[in-house]
Structure 1
Amino acid sequence: MTASLLLPLYRAASACFGPVSPLFLRWRANVGREPRARIGERLGRPSLGRPEGGLAWLHGASAAEVMALAPLVERLGSAGLTVLATTRSATPASLAMLRLPPRSLHQLAPLDVPKFMARFLDHWRPDIVLLAESEIWPNLIVEARRRETPLALVNAKLSARSFLLWRKAPGLIGALMRCIDLCLAQTDADAARFEAFGAQRAQAVGNAIYDLAPPPADASALARLAARIGARPAWVAAATYPGEEEIALEVHRRVARHFPGLLTIIAPRRAKRGFDLALRAAKLGLTARHRAGDRETEPLPDIYIAATIGEAGLFYRAAGVVFLGKSLCREGGENPIPPAKLGCAILHGPDVGDFEEAYAALDAAGGAATVFDAESLASELALLLFDAGEQRAMARAAADAMERLSGASNKIMQAIEPYIAQAMVSRDSVAIGIPK
């Protein structure tokens, strides 16, 4: 079978899946992977009406991919467009992550079945389709092209592994890439891989995640926490995983010998571990308190445990030194961009593959340092607490490194503006009866 037959074969096979899709989705709802009330959206039956005016459809695999493009969503809104964001991930946790700016809507993406995609596109009639990262779905692309809707890959990435997999079906990926009007990749390597498959106008513009604003913090809560910390030396162990929390407790014991009054703030990745962590600290002779039971009239304990990882923005602002977890347990690392933008000196383990580019930039600039165990973490922390000048220089280097990597959202907006303008002119011409 030749590669040129793969696309029609895929479309035929996915069309055959259509009749059994409701049963498949109900099964997923039964096991908690789909919200039962929104199954219709997955079948291409929108639960919202299309607003008047221009509309951009932004599709990402997950809420995280869509939220990475929040600055672009804001720019599209400022240009007068409503942004329809869709995601494939439909768990309650993923949906709770979505914090979309004004003039934006969210729907679950339809399954990649020709009938469902056609129904979805006929309802929403987008002026442009923006596919985030590596969301290459054949029926989505084909149905959008049939309607002459501009298609752009934004914040696009194609790993070396994915590139090798797609090379096994060059006819399929080539046919899809020829339908893409614009490919705005994160790196030169990504752009080259897309271009090798026939993507038009492939160019590297950077990663839009560097344009994200740091997580917010309640001003009054921050003022109260800063007042309670006072002149005490303080540090944060954020997004910690099992094993890293025990290291944080051991580091506190070691460093507190030289810095009386040391405050260690731990924000575990799983908040339910907080109470167990408090018990472990007590067994080591440390006073610990979970923020959920905190009384603000009482002095802060040795170990202060965050109630949720969502409070990270508060604690990043309250302490100048941050250890980022998920990096000493072979898990890939936590996002260092928010604390770096807030001017924190960053310590991390060696396992940071999920954010390799960001950590490499921070390490090269002197805004971050790698640690390997409790001993090296305690040594680096003690150095930063002892030398305030070094801590400030490291924090400034971290913020400057992130600033140098920002700007992708503006570049993406500048590149897609001509397509948006042309699409809206064509739509308005049809509305008043002028042929295209």
Structure 2
Amino acid sequence: MLSYRLLLSLAAPVFALRLIRDGRLAAERLGGGAGAARGAGPVIWLHGASNGELASARGLVDRLLDRRPGARLVVTCNSATGRALVRGWGLDRVAVRLAPLDYRWALGRFLSRWQPAALMLIESELWPNRLAAMAARGRPVLVVGARMSARSAARWGRLPGLVGAMLARVCYLSAQDAGSGARFVALGLDPARLGPVVDLKSGGAAPAPPDPEALARLAPLFPRGDTLLAASTHEGEERAVLAAFAAARATRPGLRLILAPRHPRRSPEIAAEIARTGLPFATRSRGEAPGPDMPVYLADTMGEMGLWYALAGIGFIGGSLVDRGGHTPWEPAAQGTAILHGPHVANFARVYAALDAAGAARRVTGPDELARALAGLDGPAQAAMAARASDIAARLSADGAGLDPLLDALIRLIDTPNGDPDHG
């Protein structure tokens, strides 16, 4: 821990720049801002990195508020977009803040304001001082849908003292797959504190429904059977998608592309990439209307994925041609969109394996294979894939995410003196 805290001190200038970038929200990073209002029930601190983790936890939040009527939640995240997502839920007993930096004084300010009875971490947000601060106050820490790849486990294995100290402070951990659970145990988690597998993203939250006026305005320009959505793309993927799209248009000239990057701030570089192809395009954030002679629409906004899926019969899922683990297949499965993806899908390996085996999704390794898939996926083929994906999603969701053991453990830990998971 001493070496970690030394590294934090050395990183202080980097965090100072982040605080400047956060502007008026910087106080939250320092543990400030308004705290919990008085109430009879406990405050539960739930933390997820950003949009994906928080969206996957929405069902958990609803179940928790139902199970514990007096409870209130303070949700923290690392991004302004995640903060906006939670604010958009409009839940009376849920507050949202940017997460305090992992400095002991910032955490102390945050904990004094909120007095959380427990901390629930989504997936893999393990911060040493955060866990130590909760343990020092006798407050339980739970990790939900925990993910640990073999590569990450190997890296953590080089720091046995640090990872061992962190995992000793975890009272309950539910991994999102058996392999992750085994890797946490190998790194030092007490096997008695390993709960059943819980994949929060099974049947995860659907995107917000599209604005009816926007859908009515755009639908005539994007015939669903001829529209590809490249969803949540990362750097290095747009060029491949554009090359495949241009090649497929040689045999399907009516194809349209909606390009929705994971990070809209990259819009200028993506616009330059589109311009290099010579394909006419319009940009959503500029209010430009895509005309019939503009085959590409740069959808560089947040919160409109439901609109894009409603328009697209084919979806390429980003983060999968580059090694980002792949993004959710649940949204396109729920929206009746045929699913294409690259080889890097570790974040949803079980789901993609089931989809691929059933012919409900198709794996492509680069622009050539993507172009061939686009050229051959006509309306009936899209509908057949989408129907199979819907069936697979329903089955996996029914198999998946029993939350009761997790909620039972949380309530038991909150109600147990000193957060002793073995008490009683």
TM-score category (smaller protein) = 0.7 to 0.9
Is the Cα contact below 8 Å between 1:205 and 1:408 reproduced in 2?
A: no
CA distance in 2, matches of 1:416, 1:63: 22
1:70 equivalent to 2:58? Answer yes
Distance 1:409 1:69, change over 3 A: farther
Distance 1:309 1:376, change over 3 A: farther
- Cα deviation for residue 214 of structure 1 reads 2.1
Is the Cα contact below 8 Å between 1:367 and 1:394 reproduced in 2?
A: yes
1:177 equivalent to 2:173? Answer no
1:276 alignment partner in structure 2: 272
Q: What is the one-letter code of the residue matched to 1:215?
A: P
2:386 alignment partner in structure 1: 395
* Structure 1 gap ranges (5+): 1-6, 428-436
Where in structure 2 are the equivalents of 1:213-232 lying within 5 Å? 213-216=205-208, 217-229=210-222
1:210 equivalent to 2:206? Answer no
1:132 equivalent to 2:122? Answer yes
Is the Cα contact below 8 Å between 1:188 and 1:203 reproduced in 2?
A: no
CA distance in 2, matches of 1:173, 1:153: 14
Where in structure 2 are the equivalents of 1:162-311 lying within 5 Å? 162-168=152-158, 170=160, 173-196=163-186, 197-199=188-190, 200-216=192-208, 217-229=210-222, 233-240=226-233, 244-259=237-252, 261-269=254-262, 270-273=266-269, 275-276=271-272, 279-280=275-276, 283=278, 287-291=280-284, 292-295=286-289, 299=292, 301-308=294-301, 310-311=303-304
1:412 alignment partner in structure 2: 403
1:108 equivalent to 2:98? Answer yes
Distance 1:303 1:122, change over 3 A: closer
Q: 2:42 aligns with which of 51, 54, 58?
A: 54
CA distance in 2, matches of 1:336, 1:354: 10
Q: What is the one-letter code of the residue matched to 1:47?
A: A
Is the Cα contact below 8 Å between 1:332 and 1:352 reproduced in 2?
A: yes
CA distance in 2, matches of 1:399, 1:376: 24
Which deviates further from its counterpart, 183-192 or 95-104?
Answer: 95-104
Is the Cα contact below 8 Å between 2:196 and 2:405 reproduced in 1?
A: no
- Cα deviation for residue 170 of structure 1 reads 4.6
Give the TM-score, by structure 2 length: 0.79
CA distance in 1, matches of 2:243, 2:21: 41
Distance 1:303 1:234, change over 3 A: same
Q: 1:83 aligns with which of 73, 85, 97?
A: 73
Per the alignment, in what secondary structure is the counterpart of residue 116 of structure 2? coil
- Cα deviation for residue 322 of structure 1 reads 1.6
Deviations 1:56-81, CA, capped at 9 Å, x for gaps: 11123445433432221222233322
Q: 1:383 aligns with which of 348, 373, 376?
A: 376
2:364 alignment partner in structure 1: 371
Which deviates further from its counterpart, 249-258 or 120-129?
Answer: 249-258
Distance 1:374 1:190, change over 3 A: closer
CA distance in 2, matches of 1:362, 1:167: 33
- Cα deviation for residue 345 of structure 1 reads 0.9
Is the Cα contact below 8 Å between 2:50 and 2:81 reproduced in 1?
A: no
Is the Cα contact below 8 Å between 1:237 and 1:248 reproduced in 2?
A: yes
Which deviates further from its counterpart, 128-137 or 303-312?
Answer: 303-312
Distance 1:407 1:132, change over 3 A: farther
CA distance in 1, matches of 2:328, 2:224: 28
Give the TM-score, by structure 1 length: 0.77
Q: What is the one-letter code of the residue matched to 2:299?
A: A
Is the Cα contact below 8 Å between 1:238 and 1:325 reproduced in 2?
A: yes
CA distance in 2, matches of 1:305, 1:383: 24
CA distance in 2, matches of 1:204, 1:184: 6
CA distance in 1, matches of 2:224, 2:66: 43
Percentage of identical aligned residues: 35
Distance 1:195 1:272, change over 3 A: same
Is the Cα contact below 8 Å between 1:347 and 1:370 reproduced in 2?
A: yes
CA RMSD across the alignment: 3.8
- Cα deviation for residue 240 of structure 1 reads 4.2
* Structure 2 gap ranges (5+): 419-424
Distance 1:410 1:46, change over 3 A: farther
Deviations 1:174-214, CA, capped at 9 Å, x for gaps: 45434432111111122223334142330342321234222
Which deviates further from its counterpart, 401-410 or 194-203?
Answer: 401-410
1:431 alignment partner in structure 2: none
CA distance in 2, matches of 1:240, 1:198: 35
Distance 1:275 1:399, change over 3 A: same
Per the alignment, in what secondary structure is the counterpart of residue 195 of structure 2? strand
Per the alignment, in what secondary structure is the counterpart of residue 411 of structure 1? coil
CA distance in 2, matches of 1:271, 1:41: 28
CA distance in 1, matches of 2:165, 2:242: 55
Is the Cα contact below 8 Å between 1:152 and 1:183 reproduced in 2?
A: yes
